[in-house]
Amino acid sequence: MQKNEETIKLDTSSLNTILNEEEFYSKPLNAETNIFKRIFLLNVQDYMNNLYSEIVSKDIKFNFSHTPPVQDSQKIQVELLENLLNQKSSNITKMSLFKLFFLKQKQKFALILFVLALFSISKCGISILLSTLIDSIQQDLKIKYAYGIGLVLLNGVSIICQHQFYSIGYEYSTIVRMSMANILYHKIFKLHTYQIKNTNQGKIINMISADLNLLEPFLIYMFVVFNLPIALGLTAAILWIRFDGPQGLLLLALLFLAYPIQLFFTHRITVLVKKTKEYADQRVKLTNEFIEGVRLIKMYAWEQSFIKSIRNLAHQEHFAYILTHLQYVILRGTTFFSQMWASAIFFMIMHYGGFYEINVSIMLSTLQLAAFARFFCVNLSSFGLDFIANLKIVLERMRVVLSMEEIIQTQSLQDQQPKEEGLVLKNLEGYWNVQGQPQIKLSFKFNIGLYAVIGKIGSGKSSLLNAIIGEMPKTTGSILLDGEDIKNRKVGYVEQEPFIFPASFKENILFGRPMDECLYQQVLEQSNLIMDLQNMEKGDTTMIGEKGLTLSGGQKARLSLARALYEDAEVYLLDDPLSAVDAKVSRSIFNNLKHLAKQRIIILVTHQVQFAPECDQIIIMNEGQIMASGEFKDVNQHLNLITDTFSQQEQQVQYINNVTKQDNDLYKKEELTSKPVTLDTYKRFFKQWSYPFLLIIMIIFYLGQEVLLQLYIYFISEYEDEGSFFLLIGMLCIGALVLNLIKYGITTFSVLSGTKQTHDQMINSLSQSPISYFDTNPSGRILNRFSNDKSLCDFTMNLSLWEVFELNSYFIISIAFLISILPYFVIVMFFIICFQVYILTRSYKIIIETKECDSIQKSPLFDFFKNTLNGIVQIKLYKQQQYFKQFFNQLSNNCIRSNFTFYQCSTNFGYKVHLSGWLASVIGTMIVIGVYENKSVFSQALLILTIFNDQFQWCMRQMIQVHAMMSSCQRMYEIIDLKPEAPQYLEQIQNWPNIGEVRFEQVELRYRYNTPLILKGINFEIPQKKRIGIIGRTGAGKSSILQAMFRMSEIEKGQIVIDNVNIQILGLHQLRSSIGIIPQSPFLFSGSIRRNLDPLNEYTDKELWDALQQTSLDEYIRKLPKQLDSDMTQVNSIFSVGQKQLICLVRIILSKKKIIVLDEATANLDQKTDDLIQLVISKFDATIITIAHRLNTIADYDYVMVMQDGKIIEYDKPLMLLCNSTDDSEITKNTEFAQMVKATGNENSKVILKLARGISN
């Protein structure tokens, strides 16, 4: 089908995948039928050999990843899970979610438990053989070689089982995590947009980007907890037999003294992690608002306010992390060397209690068993318990979302009523607050035709449309189309703030629907988009930036209209799309709508009241109810609610779309390994630790603790039943405990303090970055640095560094002891290390780049989820849920594909390193058996050879893991290293500006170095305290003048002078904070109304209420329960666009700037609100610069500037541009401005001429 082809095309520029390329390795790695290859991971080795030959001179591409088997497809997995979840929808619990996600993969679940059981059996068998071998060597029995061979073979079995556990476990982990992400994604389609906002959008995003990723490295250890009964049972049996009775179980009892400690600290960790995530959710949400609103935040000069708020949350999060990791320090410090103190106490009890006569073989084999029990039953199980604690929090957060009440269907009585043709709203009541009063309350019938819905701001116009499409949290009554629930019929909807996703122009219109060329061309004509596309270099394949970055407000509105028209719907709901376009285009679109209304129901919410007489019916709304309805002649007397006069005709500006040529590669792609992790990254990371002093001390402590462990083994090997023996090993245990706590504490404090510094520097650098950075990088990618990358550095990095430092220290000290005991072994180790270096050189780039590929595949998933939240209304309305779910499934499969490839390569690398170490232990064991007879030599050597191999391979893997995580640090450092815009603060010029005089002198501007000039040597001067209106065609450069004034982009030539000061010598904060702006799209953020009005906390409550009174918002806000302290997150949905714009006006009233700019600020407002804004700003003691479509708005201004193609073609007083003489009674000039005025109609031309003379009508 055509639709499937479009699914692939929907892929955004940020998605670094090659879905249509021929697959490099099409055979699924986990679908290998040869059992021998699967057991020994030879299938993965074949893949890595092929891959190595491909990447010797180039980077890994996504299509190099293996193809997952069909049964692991997220589409199949999620369909099964969703069906099961629907059966439990009435009673979703954490346990039911656990069963749903984790027990569904029954085969893999059972296989992992079987492999772990086999691993436990082999490890316990090693303990038995080790004791027997030592005894046979002491007695010089010939069977010692058989025992030696048995020992190394059992060790080989344990190696195979261990890596099969990782191979299958990580595959299982990946599938489970992606299934959880998909279930969350599917759920959001069943919720109201209002519910999503109330739930905290940042929390939902953080669940996908951070929570599930944090589960990734630890999920497999959950199986260790499940396997504990087997491991403990085998260990207990050996100890019982070895020590002739239950006294042997005392060792386990001593080891498991750590469990009460674990349970206590695990509970505390669970509470602290939950608190940490709450802070993280708030921080990510606020950071997201900063990134998405950065342009206006910079214009308002509010960066420091946002930075302060974000830093405060980050510092609270940091303190919670410190408390959390402090629990980990105590927990690990007391449990991760428990084999030392537990075995020491056990041996003392056995010796002094006379329970058993201990000897070297008994003690060393018991120590090996204790090491296994400690590592598997205590250490790894502690990871499992930590995972379960975190999982409980994640599942609870998921439960809250999955249990949310789904869309309440309108209570429809169509079955009991005779069917009526048309759209019938009967006893309809709509509530934004389910517990409060209805925002709309009406009954009405719409027949085929064009309906204009008119009303002042806050009258319920947009709420009416939201109720019809089912996006109010609660509605009662019925909404029927031809007697059928409207949800089952086709509806087109144009929202007031259009949803644009980062894809091509064409894909934004099709919106996942099959291509119909005839219909497609028709809607382009109806939306007046043909000329726009002709002026784009790549036509409708031109990529559109995030939130329509490359489009004007009018183009966004028309694109949304085209998307609605392409639905070929029976009912069209249009929320004021005409206000964002100029008069000629609005007239053309309106004529097209009139023609379409002959066969369709069209409900047009509009502030362009000049179109009202031509509509079939007019509906006037007030306070959520229909005040009047009928033809124009029937409701004309009520129109004074909207405007004081209806004589104002439509204004006309000839439309010629002169869109700047656009580059299809709008966003910079996130390249694979474009900047590999370098030594400088490590230096930078460790320098934050007060490098080198603190780092050196920490390394000394790590090495010292391992020296104490080896001395412990050495003194056991030298045991001669001396009285000082137990005192000595007791002191070694105490020393190890102290060193453990210190080394973990230093590492934790250093990592967390470093991450805190990095975050503070990141947000500071981001706030000072030029706007071009945000224009060329998707917000999801930037936000990922503050969510996923930061959480990895805060949490996983610390735990991994513990492993790396500890295991490296163990390896160094163990090798040193081995070589001191077995000098010949240095030759063996030389060749083994050379072989391992060879393995590392062949595997290193593969592992690092597959990890980078894995990391990069997560960003598109994150971006797509975030964009879906923003466009959820359109997706549901056009019934494209399945289309978007399919694409999210595709992204999930890509994540599974790259994640599984990384873990398989990583596991294979660890397996090869482990095997080479095993070979060394085989040779070393044979040397010990055949050459040495000194029990203090061979017994210690055997124990080290048995244990160190496990540690070494894990050390190598953890080092690569840390190196891979360093890429997260490097990405954060890249944010810190962004080239800043001009300095925020320079020497302050006092009392500037004081009069508001503006002068442009030969100003040239381009947005980026490789783009055409936008302003082409313009010159003009605005006298102090004058009002200037700027008009011009789309792309003429009107808004670029404001960008230059605010220095959002630095001019290339010329200078801008304000009050005789070249703005280039000013700090950006002083410049931007001195100019007030009311933008076209109002910017509101989470927090209270008070904070939205006064984020810098500069004004008193009285000043706030006085300013609100001037805009008539005070009465509305006083009715809210918390008034100024009402949370905007909660009330955002019940503020109309007009009210939001008035909040922006209040900010200007409060600030009392000397220069105020309005960037098409009244385009989406009704005439009365527009008049109110103009009246308020006319009283300001300031220079006013207004970009406007409505010529009546700027007709009485002091000056009018007409722009075309980046140049000023006219600039004078309005009257001088219209008449040759001030006495002329009609327009006598043929200027561009005069032509525009004439085109508005004869009557309105006279109105504009009177306004230009300063005579109000």
- Could you state, in order of their start, the residue ranges of all structural domains in the chain? 38-404+679-977, 423-657, 998-1084+1141-1212, 1086-1134
Tell me the C-alpha distance between 787 and 214, whole Å: 11
Contact 202, 286 (CB under 8 A): yes
pLDDT digits (tens, 9 = 90+) for 240-290: 988 888 888 888 888 877 777 777 887 888 888 888 888 888 888 888 888
pLDDT digits (tens, 9 = 90+) for 579-635: 777 666 777 888 888 888 888 999 998 877 777 788 888 888 887 888 888 887 778
Report how far apart the first and last C-alpha atoms of the chain are (Å, whole number). 61
Provide the CB-side half-sphere exposure for 1061 (13 A, CA). 20
pLDDT digits (tens, 9 = 90+) for 663-714: 444 445 444 444 677 888 888 888 877 666 788 888 899 999 889 988 888 8
Q: Residue 15: is its pLDDT beyond 50?
A: no
pLDDT digits (tens, 9 = 90+) for 1014-1045: 888 899 999 988 889 988 776 677 888 888 89
pLDDT digits (tens, 9 = 90+) for 474-531: 778 888 888 888 888 888 998 877 888 777 888 888 888 888 889 989 988 888 888 8
Q: Where are the beta strands (DSSP E) in 564-645?
A: 571-575, 601-605, 617-622, 625-630
Query: What is the spatial order of strands in the sheet that 449-454 belongs to?
Result: 491-494, 571-575, 601-605, 449-454, 617-622, 625-630
Contact 183, 885 (CB under 8 A): no
CATH architecture assigned to 38-404+679-977 = Up-down Bundle (1.20)
Tell me the C-alpha distance between 647 and 631, whole Å: 18
pLDDT digits (tens, 9 = 90+) for 815-863: 888 788 778 778 888 888 888 888 888 887 788 778 777 877 777 787 7
Average pLDDT of the segment spanning 996-1002: 91
Residue matched to tokens 């692991």: 72
Q: Residue 118: is its pLDDT beyond 90?
A: yes
Contact 638, 627 (CB under 8 A): yes
User: Which amino acid is residue 627, in one-letter code?
Assistant: M
Quote the pLDDT of residue 1014. 84
Q: Where are the beta strands (DSSP E) in 775-922?
A: none
Cα 695 to Cα 690, 692, 706, 833, 960, distances in angstroms? 8, 5, 17, 26, 20
Q: Please state the length of the chain.
A: 1257
Contact 116, 165 (CB under 8 A): yes
pLDDT digits (tens, 9 = 90+) for 1177-1191: 777 888 889 887 777
Cα 437 to Cα 441, 471, 1135, 1150, distances in angstroms? 10, 17, 15, 32
Q: Residue 1256: is its pLDDT beyond 80?
A: no
Q: Residue 197: is its pLDDT beyond 70?
A: no
pLDDT digits (tens, 9 = 90+) for 497-507: 788 877 788 88
Quote the pLDDT of residue 143. 86
Task: Indicate the range of 67-81, 555-569, 1131-1145 predicted with least confidence.
Answer: 67-81
Quote the pLDDT of residue 1057. 92
Q: State the angle between helix axes of 825-870 and 797-821 in degrees (0 to 180), rounded to the nearest 10.
A: 170
pLDDT band, very low/low/confident/very high, at 117 (cuts 50, 70, 90):
very high
Q: Residue 70: is its pLDDT beyond 50?
A: no
Quote the pLDDT of residue 1083. 74
> Which is nearest to 1051 in space by CA: 999, 1016, 1076?
1016
pLDDT digits (tens, 9 = 90+) for 871-918: 888 888 888 888 888 888 888 888 888 888 888 888 888 888 888 888
Tell me the C-alpha distance between 1212 and 1015, whole Å: 19
Question: pTM for the complete prediction?
Answer: 0.68
Q: Residue 29: is its pLDDT beyond 90?
A: no
User: Which amino acid is residue 129, in one-letter code?
Assistant: L
Tell me the C-alpha distance between 511 and 542, whole Å: 15
pLDDT band, very low/low/confident/very high, at 410 (cuts 50, 70, 90):
very low
Q: What is the DSSP letter of 480?
A: E
Quote the pLDDT of residue 273. 83
Tell me the C-alpha distance between 622 and 602, whole Å: 20
Q: How many whole angstroms from its chain centre is CA 966?
A: 19
Whether the bond into 993 is cis, omega within 30 of 0? yes
Share of the chain above pLDDT 70, in %: 84
Quote the pLDDT of residue 583. 62
- Higher confidence at residue 695 or residue 1133? 695
Query: What is the spatial order of strands in the sheet that 1061-1062 belongs to?
Result: 1015-1022, 998-1005, 1053-1058, 1061-1062
Contact 1084, 1140 (CB under 8 A): yes
pLDDT digits (tens, 9 = 90+) for 313-336: 999 888 888 888 888 888 888 777
Contact 580, 1164 (CB under 8 A): yes
The dihedral through the CA atoms of 149, 150, 151, 154 has a sign that is positive
Tell me the C-alpha distance between 689 and 693, whole Å: 8
Tell me the C-alpha distance between 527 and 586, whole Å: 10
Tell me the C-alpha distance between 585 and 607, whole Å: 15
* 423-657 shares its CATH topology with 998-1084+1141-1212: yes
Backbone angles phi, psi at 1247, to 5 degrees: -60, -45
User: Which amino acid is residue 464, in one-letter code?
Assistant: L
Tell me the C-alpha distance between 444 and 1102, whole Å: 43
> Which is nearest to 748 in space by CA: 738, 740, 759?
740
pLDDT digits (tens, 9 = 90+) for 707-753: 998 888 888 877 766 668 888 888 988 998 899 889 998 888 888 88
CATH architecture assigned to 998-1084+1141-1212 = 3-Layer(aba) Sandwich (3.40)
Average pLDDT of the segment spanning 1101-1129: 81
Q: Residue 928: is its pLDDT beyond 80?
A: no
Which tokens sit at 700? Answer: 């000394």
Quote the pLDDT of residue 546. 61
SS (H, E, C) 955-994: HHHHHHHHHHHHHHHHHHHHHHCCCCCCCCCCCCCCCCCC
Q: Residue 116: is its pLDDT beyond 60?
A: yes
H/E element holding 884?
helix 881-931
H/E element holding 442?
strand 440-446
Quote the pLDDT of residue 639. 61
Whether the bond into 692 is cis, omega within 30 of 0? yes
Q: Residue 114: is its pLDDT beyond 90?
A: yes
The dihedral through the CA atoms of 226, 229, 234, 240 has a sign that is positive
Q: What is the mean pLDDT of the chain?
A: 79
Q: Is 805 helix (H, G, I), strand (E, B) or coil?
A: helix
Average pLDDT of the segment spanning 970-977: 88
Contact 119, 375 (CB under 8 A): no
pLDDT band, very low/low/confident/very high, at 83 (cuts 50, 70, 90):
low
Report how many helices (DSSP H) and strands (DSSP E) the chain contains, helices first. Answer: 49, 20
Give the CATH number of domain 423-657; options: 3.40.1190.20, 3.40.50.300, 1.10.10.60, 3.60.70.12: 3.40.50.300
Quote the pLDDT of residue 1000. 92
- CB neighbours of 787 closer than 8 A, spacing ≥ 6? 205, 206, 209, 210, 280, 284, 287
How many C-beta atoms surround the C-beta of residue 922 within 10 A? 20
